[in-house]
Structure formats: C-alpha cells, structure tokens
Amino acid sequence: MRILKVNHNDAGQRLDKFLSKAVQGLPMSLMYKFIRTKKIKRNRARTEPSVMLCEGDEIQLFIREEFFASPEEDTGALSRIRPKIEAVYEDDNILLVHKRPGVLVHEDDEAQDNTLIMHIKAYLAQKGEYDPEAEQSFAPALCNRIDRNTGGIVIAAKNAEALRVMNQKIRDDEVRKFYYCIVHGEMPRREDTLRAYLRKDSLHNQVEVTDTPLHGSKEIITKYRVIASRGGNSLLEVELVTGRTHQIRAHLAHIGHPLLGDGKYGVNRADAQAGYKFQALYARKLIFNFKDESGALGYLKGREVALDDDAIWFYDDFFTRDIPSAAMPKPKPNQKGKGSAVRAKAATGATMAHQRTKSKAKPSTPAKGGKQRYGNGRTKGDRK
C-alpha cells in the first residue's frame, strides 16, 4: 500500500485528475475500477472519482508497485539550463514573459529542453520557487499559447491555484488580449468588429473561416483599430474577443487582408524576398479586466501589462521601409450558399500580379533585441 498526502498544489482538483498525474503508470480504466472496488480510498473511506481534494487529505492506494513506475521528468535539466527569460511582470503567483518569434512554447519532436516552458521551469527552480521532487501533480504551466513564429506576452502560473484561477478568468473573457500586426491593403473602416465562424483541421494544422456556420465550426469575434496606413499596407491593433487557433491570421485573410509574411493564409513570395518570412503578428498587451477583486489573483484587477513598441520587430519597419503591398480580394460565396472560406495557402486563390514584381526593399532585421533566440532560433514553419 502507498499513501499520497494532498499538498497545497494538489488541492482543489478532482481525485481522478490528481491520480492521472501522480500515478502516471496507472491506466485510467483501472483507476476507475480500483476506486469502485475500494482499492483506492480517501481518508480511509470509500470515495468517488469526482470528489474534490482538500489540503491534508490522504489517498490510500492498495495497488501493485508497478503502477507507480513511470518516466520521470529530467530534473537535472532544470539545473543545467541557463534560463533565457525576459520577465515583463512577476509576483508570487504569476510570471509574464516576453516570448520571441521562433521560440516553441511547449516541447515537440524536435525540441524537448529548449522550449519556453522548460526555461520557465528552470528559472523558477533555480530561484527556489519550484521543486519538482516535492510536487506530485503540479508543474509551472502556461495559461495562454501563441504560435511559434508569433512573439509577445505569455502568462505562466507558478502554483496550482493561480493556474486554475487564471484559466477560469480567460474562459470568462476577463483577460483582454491585444495584438499588433501588419496587413496587406487598406482597411475599409478605421475600426470594426468582425464576426465569422472558424473550423479547425487538426490533421493539417490549419483552419477554415466562413461567413455562416458549418458543422464543427465555432463563432469568432475579432476587433481591430487602424494605427496607421502606408504604402498600401495597414498597421493594426487587434483585440481577440474569442481566442481560436490562428484566429487573427485566418480572419483577416478571410476579409481580403492577409498578414504580411503569412505563408499559411496568404501568398508571401514577395514578402519573403523582402525579408518577412513569417507573419508580422505580436501579442503586445494584456488587460486583467476582472469583475471583482476576490480570489487569489484579485489584486490584478484593472492592471495593464504591455510591451514597448520598439520591442516589436516590425513596428519601426512599417514607418521606415517600403514594404511589399498586395491585398487579396475577398473570396466569393461558394455554390452551396454556406459562406466564403479561407484555407491554408490562401485557397482563396488570388494571383497577386503585383507580388510577382521583385521587391527592391532590403531584407529586414528585427528591432531592438529582435535577434535573440533560444538554441538555433529556427523560425521555419508554424508548429501550433
């Protein structure tokens, strides 16, 4: 028998969620069977998978030792890594980090240790704020994600309560998210609220945007404000009201204004020749628009955190360089009357004749600090 004592970071979650992380070698089907047959108890009494755990609870597990054998996180890596963290804001509960374009937020097949979350874990471990050996079910985690080639502010939670509260605030639309981007063409209005529907294709890592709902689609709402227009392009501040995958990129392409450098939802041959090899998009500002000051993060109510304009690699370029201009016409409604759609590689099809003209602009370089990368700083592709 083993006894797991529920600590502060374990409390406030369901028993089955806790066990799935604390006993990773135990299959979910067996877990539910063992709870049902009283081989797993809470405080020496029969329990249910959905019971919410409290700090100090004891979980008795009358199961074979082999279930406790599971791959351990390489805690040695947390001491070996030299954290590259640009903290924008930090307190005892959360850490806001400036993620540079080209940095992966989570590990994939190519990068395990050289990711933003591993650098955050190493940073907190080396500060003495995170001890992986003392935790049973919690590790510092990200509350929001941005694409590999998009830069900007990312929220990390230092403890389980902060993670739960911040995730709930985001779900309740109490965290406002603002981006800067450059789009091809001049916008029809100085500011507007766009509404459409988005359907995700996980297999091909792309999305489809339509004017009317399709099976499996979700509503998207995107607000924009024109900061400046120059040379047939526009610099926008965009607020994400809903936060769907690739929403800004696909939604703006859908109305005929793809992002500069976006090869997934636009045609970026001329952009790439001019040095814009990935989307000009940056998560610049967060406003914690909390309804009240109660709870673990109530002190953040009304706080605004933003990056300086010169931290955004394309901001100065917009006002000082001749950037390729090529607006895409909005796709025509399809024959079935279900609305128009924008797919990867702009299945929209626009053959931008003026994009074929070779740009005379010199390749761009990121603005202040823009060359910082983790590892080899690869920027090819979009892993999200």
> Is residue 131 pLDDT above 60, yes or no?
yes
Q: How far apart are CA 303 and CA 284, in angstroms?
A: 14
Average pLDDT over residues 297-312: 97
Cα separations (Å) of 291 from 166, 173, 239, 305?
13, 10, 19, 18
Q: Is the pLDDT of residue 366 over 50?
A: no
Region of poorest pLDDT, from 78-82, 180-184, 287-291: 78-82
* Sheet of strand 2-5, all strands in order from the earlier edge strand to the far edge: 2-5, 58-61, 40-42
Quick one: tokens of 19? 């066990």
Q: How many CA atoms lie within 13 A of 288 on its CB side?
A: 20
Place of tokens 């914690």: 288
Q: Cα separation of 275 and 261, whole Å?
A: 8
| Of the candidates 330, 361, 331, 309, the residue with the CA atom closest to the CA atom of residue 185 | 330
pLDDT above 90: residue 219: yes
Q: How far is CA 94 from CA 69, 120, 167, 276, in A?
A: 32, 11, 12, 33
DSSP label of 115: S
d(CA 304, CA 163) in angstroms, rounded, equals 19
Q: How far apart are CA 55 and CA 43, in angstroms?
A: 12
Q: How far apart are the first and last CA of the chain?
A: 42
Q: Which two tokens stand for residue 73?
A: 């996180």
Structure confidence by residue, pLDDT tens digits, 184-212: 999 999 999 999 999 999 888 899 999 99
pLDDT at 108: 59
Average of per-residue pLDDT values in the chain: 84
Q: What is the pLDDT of residue 267?
A: 85
Cα 173 from chain centroid?
15
Average of pLDDT values for 174-186? 97
The whole-number pLDDT of residue 24 equals 85
Instruction: Say whether 140 sits in a helix, a strand or coil.
Output: coil
Q: What's the rounded mean pLDDT across residues 152-162? A: 96
Instruction: Mark out the alpha helices in the chain (DSSP H runs).
Output: 15-22, 28-36, 75-80, 116-127, 160-171, 247-254, 269-273, 315-320
- Return the amino acid letter for 306: A
The pLDDT tens digits for 263-294 are 999 988 899 998 999 999 999 999 999 999 98
Structure tokens at 119: 């650098």
pLDDT tops 90 at residue 70 = no
Residues 284/180, Cβ–Cβ less than 8 Å: yes
Q: What is the pLDDT of residue 338?
A: 44
Q: List CB contacts of 1: < 8 A, sequence separation 6 or more.
A: 60, 61, 62
Q: What is the mean pLDDT of residues 348-355?
A: 33
> Residues 19-59: pLDDT tens digits?
999 998 899 999 999 999 999 999 999 999 999 999 999 99
Task: Give the model's pLDDT for residue 323.
Answer: 86
Give me the DSSP letters along 195-253.
Answer: EEEEEEETTTTEEEEESS--TT-EEEEEEEEEEEEETTEEEEEEEESS--TTHHHHHHH
- Residues 367, 151: Cα–Cα separation, whole Å: 12
Phi, psi of 27 (to 5 degrees): -60, 145
pLDDT at site 294: 87
- What is the CB neighbour count within 10 angstroms for residue 278? 24
pTM summary value: 0.77
pLDDT bin (cut points 50, 70, 90) of residue 112 is low
